[in-house]
Structure 1
Amino acid sequence: MQKSIALSKSVLPVCVAAIFALTAIFPVSGLTADNTITRGSTSGQTTAKGYDHPNQFIHMRPAKIAENMEPVMQHPDQDKEAREKLAALEKKFGKKPNILIFIMDDVGWMDPGFNGGGESVGNPTPTMDRLARDGLVLTSAYSTPSCTPTRATIHTGQNPLHHGLTRPPMYGEPGGLDGAVTVASVLQKLGYVTQGVGKWHMGENEASLPHNVGYDNYYGFLGVSDMYTEWRDTYFNPEIALSPGRFALMQKLPFNHNNVRCVKGAKSCENLYEIDLTTIKDLDQDWAAYSEKFIRDMKDNTKPWFLYHATRGCHFDNYLNDKYAGKSPARTVYSDCMVEMDDILARLVKTLEETGQLENTLILLTSDNGPECEIPPHGRTPFRGCKGSNWEGGVRVPTFVYWKGMVKPRRSDGLFDLADLFNTCISLAGSPGAEVAKFVPADRYVDGIDQASFLIGDQGQSNRRSIIYTLNQFVAGVRVDEFKGHQTVELERAIYPRGYTGGFSGAIIPLTGGATVTNLYTDPQEDVSEGIRHIPIGILMSQEGNRYAEVLKKFPPKIIIKFGTN
């Protein structure tokens, strides 16, 4: 714990005295005392005025709206526009909007067609592409480096340092959402029917089960798909599958081996059927049918609903059912799975259309992290790194928001963190901005930001100034505008010189010196430092890192489960 706090004192290890000195030289406004701008180069002064661009806030200061919440870039006009649109929609339908979160597993930024993948990589995604084209594509949306931390971040509005699940618990390990305030529990209080379907993986102890943290009903499994399959596979794991003693040990490990149903008020979840190499092939189809039924059942309900649909695909191991095996032009189990995910999304959208609920439903599609790169075939990203790392490839995820008649078709590089879903969903339910604070204890920090006006405003800009990166139990870096500073990184090939090296096979390295700043527009591969060449940017980035270090002093990290013992 102390090590984590110490590492976070400065995201960019620059001398504090230099920071204060240079801040005086480079005032935030960029203006001299007489409000003139003198600039140029060795060739002489320039008369070019230059341009300011939307969603670039490094020269601006956000507003503090609550002691235990991240500061916000305020846009009063777009806030007003969003509230007026929401009020008109509520008047039309007589209730708050429905919310559908469709979260895939290990799908990379460039897997869907709307981000350049799709047909060009052998897995067409026509439904995703159509909805993205008619919605808002978020080109800089961020998860955490792995699945459990991201899922807990979505549910709590906290990054992993605050909710404490810094890595996935496996095979019955303790650790979960005990005592957490979740988006589902808040929406319940605000009159929503809450339904979860699919992958949980946020703890199997009683206090962490879905129906005990805000869900009226949950249908899915409590772990992650490889927990049910890899030790059974005689090809990938003959060391266990062909050893009766070892195999028997795996069968007895204290994790739930079944697809389950969890209902509010029940003491435990109901086991429905065991997940093995056969039943796993139909899981996503089974889950899709359950979500379809829920949507149909809610057709004439006077209450709005929240549906968290977390797919099994496309996390390894991808055991495809007969309908989808070979259906993608690439004919890999990963690409076949992407085709299946697109079809499942199409089914849910069709059900919304047939029941007349599409116009009153926000749909957000995303992934829990970047592509897993140690078990081929796997997803794709144009950025450096993979799942398990804080390089862009590990945490920048394919994301769009579709809402017929409410979200104007466009693309935006405004910053969006999946923690923002907590605040944004609560905002759509009628408690915007600082009102979120009334649902959480005063000693609990909310890292999410209400992005409702960003999504709904016709020209909406992000309400978020920065992204704080985490990696396991460490602060890993910060992004403001197109600039990213590193403090802790994962070096893919630091340990193993050959083979498939993804995020979980590398070494975690705290940076102890230098000015490591990357321009993500000019260097998306993060292989060149801009820190010395562009010192003023480094100073401004340091200020943001130091701001969050103060947050961690006041709201210290809470580590429930992590890598290592230190």
Structure 2
Amino acid sequence: MYRTIVTLCLWVICCTAVSAAKPNLLLIVADDMGYGDLSCYGSKQIQTPNLDRLASGGVLCTDGYVSGSVCAPSRAGLMTGRYGSRFGFEHNLSNPAGLEDEFAGIPLDETLLSQRLQEQGYRTGLVGKWHLGESVPGHHPLERGFDFFFGMLGGSHAYFPTVEKNRLLINHEPPHEIRTPYLTDWFTLEAIDFIQAEGKAKELDAQQPWFLYLSYNTPHGPMQAKEEDIEQYAHIHDKTRRVYCAMQACMDENIGKIVDTLESTGQLENTLIAFISDNGGSVEVSHAVNAPLRGTKGTFLEGGIRVPTIYHWPAQLPQGKVYDQPVISLDVMKTFVTAAGGQAPSAGETEPRKGRSKKNLPIYDGVDLVPHFRGESKEAPHESLYWRMALRGSAIREGDWKLLIPNSQLPQLYNLKEDVGETTNLIQDQPEMAAQLLEKLNEWEGTMERNPLFISAPTWSQYNKRLYEKTFSLEQPLPDSEEDIWSF
């Protein structure tokens, strides 16, 4: 009896200590990954056992969104917890040389997630892709709240770099040697070193809790994979799709190495992990599969903005939960800062900012998802979600309804509960619903603080028009059409 009581007391003490300690925070972002290209999201062609492990041990979101359909605007929203449209960041960076330094990336008056976590006593690291300001004073990751940086400032990079030919940086300096031949593997080695405060990150304080933004460029182009990974998919006839699958499998294997490191060092229990893709898969470039969604990267169809979203935190979150309310990547900021013991504005709230009147304070858009995942909050996290990209379109989702306004086509209205593939435009059957959503979208656009600071080259508008005009439906033959490569 005495031994039992002692055991119970020790268990309570241990649980209390875990819940009281600041969690480590790991944000993993894939690049242009298809919604239907994880086995936990239904793929029969690509097995992703390590991401499946995170999903089965945490929360898998069926309706997870990002705030932009291309890389940089999505990442700008992720780092701020605000729609990039609010501060003029709607497109990928274009001609930053023509902008004032303050605006050649995320405007310098925006507070980033990394800066908020530094204030909470975290050591902060970025490994991988930045794409939020290149070689412009004030916009380097080390000037935006990160203590350590290894990766590239731009939007893409070859996967087999050499000492003579690469655009990588270790903090501010180029590498003097290639640590391992394949970039995805190299990012993982640096990530593990940061977690353990070893290697090039050894000067950081290992006693601090840590925040790591692991920003893989996988499976963004160029389409390059290791031969041993390609061999696993030799049965796939289409070469591009074969390489894509190999790249995806390699990333999953590397994520497994990081999770194993956390487990072996006793950190997994109290590490909050969030995994997303920065936007939908690029059907044309990489032959990604977004099924059962229609559309692709660059559009506001579901295939461009709905992405795999997984949260894993054994100490605080339920295991094996499937969450079907709409969430968005903007929620990461509020969720992480709250978990760290800090405070950040929730959706609809403002925050004091030097030099701004009360009528012009920045509006925030994310919520803390933990109470929703735990069932403590029964309400949906968001009443509405919005998207806009100047000259290319806008959209709003409220409940099951979505109004889509591509600049190259007539408006479209879909009921996502009945038609997740967006195959039947109901705008003529439900004009009142369309008008109601349009009014809310117009009201949201009226809260923008800045006009777009930069706009992609005109050629991208033509490319975007072509993507909307194509029909990427479940009936269309896929790169490996003789196989049933997904199930839902």
Q: Do the structures match in fold with TM over 0.5?
A: yes
Q: CA offset at residue 547 of structure 1?
A: 3.3
Partner of 2:217: 312
Partner of 2:105: 176
Q: CA offset at residue 366 of structure 1?
A: 0.8
Partner of 2:168: 259
Q: 1:263-290: per-residue Cα shift (whole Å, max 9, x none)?
A: xxxxxx1111599xxx995111111011
- In structure 1, runs of 5+ residues without a counterpart are 1-86, 233-250, 263-268, 490-507
Partner of 1:8: none
Letter aligned with residue 557 of structure 1:
N
SS in 1 for 2:447: helix
Change (3 A) 1:272 1:406: same
The answer to whether the 8 A contact 1:281-1:320 is kept is no
Partner of 1:352: 262
Tell me how many residue pairs correspond in the alignment.
420
The answer to whether the 8 A contact 2:58-2:313 is kept is yes
Q: Which moved more, 1:389-398 or 1:91-100?
A: 91-100
Q: CA offset at residue 450 of structure 1?
A: 3.0
SS in 1 for 2:182: helix
Q: How far apart, in 2, do the equivalents of 1:478 and 1:542 lie?
A: 8
Match of 1:520 among 412, 416, 433: 416
Match of 1:418 among 329, 339, 344: 329
Q: How far apart, in 1, do the equivalents of 2:75 and 2:447 lie?
A: 22
SS in 2 for 1:207: coil
Letter aligned with residue 221 of structure 1:
M
Partner of 2:246: 336
SS in 1 for 2:397: strand
Change (3 A) 1:168 1:518: same
The answer to whether the 8 A contact 1:160-1:473 is kept is no
**Equivalences for 1:124-135 in 2 at 5 Å?**
124-135=47-58
Q: How far apart, in 2, do the equivalents of 1:199 and 1:446 lie?
A: 24
Q: How far apart, in 1, do the equivalents of 2:83 and 2:392 lie?
A: 11
Q: CA offset at residue 321 of structure 1?
A: 2.5
Q: How far apart, in 1, do the equivalents of 2:249 and 2:86 lie?
A: 36
Partner of 1:557: 451
**Equivalences for 1:188-267 in 2 at 5 Å?**
188-204=118-134, 205-225=136-156, 228=158, 257-262=166-171
SS in 2 for 1:177: coil
Partner of 1:79: none
1:480 maps to 2:393:
no
Q: CA offset at residue 419 of structure 1?
A: 1.4
Q: How far apart, in 2, do the equivalents of 1:90 and 1:148 lie?
A: 40
Letter aligned with residue 126 of structure 1:
P
Query: Normalization by structure 1: what TM-score?
Result: 0.67
Compare CA radii of gyration and give the structure with the larger one: 1
1:427 maps to 2:357:
no
SS in 1 for 2:91: coil
Letter aligned with residue 189 of structure 2:
A
Letter aligned with residue 310 of structure 1:
S
Change (3 A) 1:525 1:344: same
Q: How far apart, in 1, do the equivalents of 2:442 and 2:60 lie?
A: 31
Q: How far apart, in 2, do the equivalents of 1:388 and 1:280 lie?
A: 33
Partner of 2:430: 534
Partner of 2:296: 386
Partner of 2:116: 186
Q: How far apart, in 2, do the equivalents of 1:416 and 1:345 lie?
A: 23
Q: Identity rate of aligned residues, in percent?
A: 27
Partner of 2:277: 367
Q: CA offset at residue 417 of structure 1?
A: 1.3
The answer to whether the 8 A contact 1:139-1:413 is kept is yes
Match of 2:36 among 98, 101, 110: 110
Q: CA offset at residue 381 of structure 1?
A: 3.0
Q: 1:33-83: per-residue Cα shift (whole Å, max 9, x none)?
A: xxxxxxxxxxxxxxxxxxxxxxxxxxxxxxxxxxxxxxxxxxxxxxxxxxx
Partner of 1:30: none
Q: CA offset at residue 124 of structure 1?
A: 0.8
Q: CA offset at residue 527 of structure 1?
A: 3.0
Q: CA offset at residue 219 of structure 1?
A: 0.6
Change (3 A) 1:363 1:537: same
The answer to whether the 8 A contact 1:145-1:388 is kept is yes
Partner of 1:161: 85
Q: Which moved more, 1:306-315 or 1:521-530?
A: 521-530
Q: How far apart, in 2, do the equivalents of 1:480 and 1:295 lie?
A: 39
Q: How far apart, in 1, do the equivalents of 2:94 and 2:276 lie?
A: 23
Letter aligned with residue 326 of structure 1:
E
Change (3 A) 1:280 1:530: farther
Q: How far apart, in 1, do the equivalents of 2:363 and 2:15 lie?
A: 32
Q: 1:216-238: per-residue Cα shift (whole Å, max 9, x none)?
A: 11111111335x589x9xxxxxx
Q: CA offset at residue 129 of structure 1?
A: 1.2
SS in 2 for 1:152: helix
1:464 maps to 2:358:
no
Partner of 2:476: none
Q: How far apart, in 2, do the equivalents of 1:456 and 1:202 lie?
A: 33
Letter aligned with residue 198 of structure 1:
G
Change (3 A) 1:229 1:288: closer
Match of 2:174 among 244, 259, 271: 271
Q: CA offset at residue 301 of structure 1?
A: 3.8
- In structure 2, runs of 5+ residues without a counterpart are 1-12, 199-203, 237-241, 462-488
Change (3 A) 1:305 1:184: same
**Equivalences for 1:442-461 in 2 at 5 Å?**
443-457=361-375, 461=379
Letter aligned with residue 137 of structure 2:
E
Q: How far apart, in 2, do the equivalents of 1:423 and 1:261 lie?
A: 29
Q: How far apart, in 2, do the equivalents of 1:257 and 1:433 lie?
A: 38
Change (3 A) 1:541 1:196: same
The answer to whether the 8 A contact 2:414-2:424 is kept is yes
Q: How far apart, in 2, do the equivalents of 1:361 and 1:347 lie?
A: 15
Q: CA offset at residue 169 of structure 1?
A: 3.0
Q: 1:3-57: per-residue Cα shift (whole Å, max 9, x none)?
A: xxxxxxxxxxxxxxxxxxxxxxxxxxxxxxxxxxxxxxxxxxxxxxxxxxxxxxx
Partner of 2:308: 398
The answer to whether the 8 A contact 2:80-2:112 is kept is yes
SS in 2 for 1:375: helix
Q: CA offset at residue 192 of structure 1?
A: 1.1
Q: How far apart, in 1, do the equivalents of 2:457 and 2:370 lie?
A: 35
SS in 2 for 1:272: coil
Match of 1:509 among 402, 408, 425: 408
Pairwise CA RMSD:
3.2
Q: How far apart, in 2, do the equivalents of 1:207 and 1:330 lie?
A: 48
Change (3 A) 1:106 1:519: same
Change (3 A) 1:510 1:428: farther
The answer to whether the 8 A contact 2:159-2:224 is kept is no
Partner of 1:288: 188
Change (3 A) 1:170 1:445: same
The answer to whether the 8 A contact 1:152-1:177 is kept is yes
Letter aligned with residue 52 of structure 2:
D
Change (3 A) 1:447 1:562: farther
Q: How far apart, in 2, do the equivalents of 1:285 and 1:328 lie?
A: 19
Q: How far apart, in 2, do the equivalents of 1:440 and 1:126 lie?
A: 45
Q: CA offset at residue 324 of structure 1?
A: 2.1
